[in-house]
Chains A and B, each alone.
Chain A
Amino acid sequence: MKTITIDPITRLEGHGKIVIFLNDGGEVENAYLQVPELRGFERFCEGRRAEDMPILTARICGVCPVAHHMASTKALDAAYGVEPTPTAKKLRELMYSGYTVYDHILHFYFLAAPDFVVGPDAPPAERNIFGVLKKVGLDVGREVIKHRAYGQKITEILGGKATHPTFGLPGGVSKGLNEEERLEIEEMGRSSVEFAQFTLDLFNKVVLGNQDYVDLILSDPYQLRTYNMGLVDDDNRVDLYDGDIRVTDQGGKEFTKFQAGDYLDHISEHVEPWTYSKFTYLKKIGWKGLSDGPDSGVYRVGPLGRLNAAEGMTTPLADQEYQRMYETLGGKPINSTLAFHWARLVELLFAAERVVELATDPGITDGDLRNPVGEPGEGVGVIEAARGTLFHHYKVDEEGLLEKVNLIVATTNNYAPICMSIRDAAKGLIKGDEVSEGLLNMVEMGFRAYDPCFACATHSLPGQAPLKVEVYDHERRLKRRIERNLG
Chain B
Amino acid sequence: MINAVIGIGNLLRADDGVGIHVVQRLEDEITGCEAVDMATAGIDLLGHIRGREKVVIVDAIITGSEPGTIHRVSTHEMRSPIFAKTHGLNLHGTLMLGQLLYPDEMPKKLVILGVEIQDITSFSDKLTSNVQRAIPRLIEAIKKEFI
Kindly provide the distance from the CB of B7 to the nearest chain A CB, expressed in whole angstroms.
11
Number of B interface residues, CB 8 Å?
48
Task: Out of B89, B91, B120, name the residue touching A458 (CB < 8 Å).
Answer: B120
- Is there contact, CB below 8 Å, between B40 and A459? yes
Tell which of A128, A164, A463, A485 has the most Cβ of chain B within 10 Å. A463
Report chain B residues within 8 Å CB of A106: 43, 87-88
Kindly provide the distance from the CB of A188 to the nearest chain B CB, expressed in whole angstroms.
14
Kindly provide the distance from the CB of A156 to the nearest chain B CB, expressed in whole angstroms.
10
- Is there contact, CB below 8 Å, between A41 and B123? yes
Nearest chain A residue, comparing its CB with the CB of B16: A458
Report chain A residues within 8 Å CB of B2: none
Total cross-chain contacts (CB, 8 A): 158
Is A12 close to B, CB under 8 A? yes
Report chain B residues within 8 Å CB of A461: 59-62, 80, 90-91, 112, 114
Kindly provide the distance from the CB of A95 to the nearest chain B CB, expressed in whole angstroms.
16
If A41-B12, A44-B12, A459-B9 touch, does A162 touch B44 (CB 8 Å cutoff)?
yes
If A59-B39, A152-B44 touch, does A462 touch B86 (CB 8 Å cutoff)?
no
If A106-B88, A461-B80 touch, does A59 touch B100 (CB 8 Å cutoff)?
no
If A141-B101, A163-B39, A464-B84 touch, does A459 touch B124 (CB 8 Å cutoff)?
no
Kindly provide the distance from the CB of B100 to the nearest chain A CB, expressed in whole angstroms.
7
Tell which of A56, A59, A149, A485 has the most Cβ of chain B within 10 Å. A59
Is A133 close to B, CB under 8 A? yes
Task: Out of A40, A61, A462, A465, name the residue touching B83 (CB < 8 Å).
Answer: A465
- Is there contact, CB below 8 Å, between B83 and A164? no
Which residues 21-72 in A have Cβ within 8 Å of B in the complex?
40-41, 43-44, 56, 59-63, 65
Is A373 close to B, CB under 8 A? no
Kindly provide the distance from the CB of B57 to the nearest chain A CB, expressed in whole angstroms.
10
Is A135 close to B, CB under 8 A? no
Report the bound CA distance from A199 to B82 in whole Å: 24
- Is there contact, CB below 8 Å, between B59 and A458? no
If A111-B87, A462-B80 touch, does A62 touch B62 (CB 8 Å cutoff)?
no
Tell which of A62, A453, A457 has the most Cβ of chain B within 10 Å. A62
Is B46 close to A, CB under 8 A? yes
Report chain A residues within 8 Å CB of B100: 130, 133, 138, 141
- Is there contact, CB below 8 Å, between A12 and B83? no
- Is there contact, CB below 8 Å, between B59 and A456? no
Kindly provide the distance from the CB of B117 to the nearest chain A CB, expressed in whole angstroms.
6
Nearest chain A residue, comparing its CB with the CB of B15: A460
Which residues 67-93 in B have Cβ within 8 Å of A in the complex?
80-91, 93
- Is there contact, CB below 8 Å, between A463 and B40? no
- Is there contact, CB below 8 Å, between A460 and B85? no
Report chain A residues within 8 Å CB of B85: 9, 457, 459, 463, 465
Tell which of A56, A129, A458, A485 has the most Cβ of chain B within 10 Å. A458
If A12-B120, A163-B38 touch, does A459 touch B86 (CB 8 Å cutoff)?
no
Interface pairs (6), CB distance under 8 Å: A133-B101, A163-B37, A457-B85, A461-B59, A462-B62, A462-B84
**Chain B residues within 8 Å of A, Cβ to Cβ:** 8-13, 16, 37-44, 46-47, 59-63, 80-91, 93, 96-97, 100-102, 112, 114, 117, 120-124
Given contacts A458-B40, A464-B80, A485-B83, 13 further A-B contacts (CB under 8 A): A13-B86, A41-B12, A56-B12, A62-B40, A62-B87, A63-B87, A110-B43, A130-B82, A133-B101, A141-B100, A456-B13, A460-B61, A460-B117
**Chain A residues within 8 Å of B, Cβ to Cβ:** 8-10, 12-14, 16, 40-41, 43-44, 56, 59-63, 65, 106-107, 110-111, 128-130, 133, 138, 141-142, 145, 148-149, 152, 161-164, 452-454, 456-466, 485-487
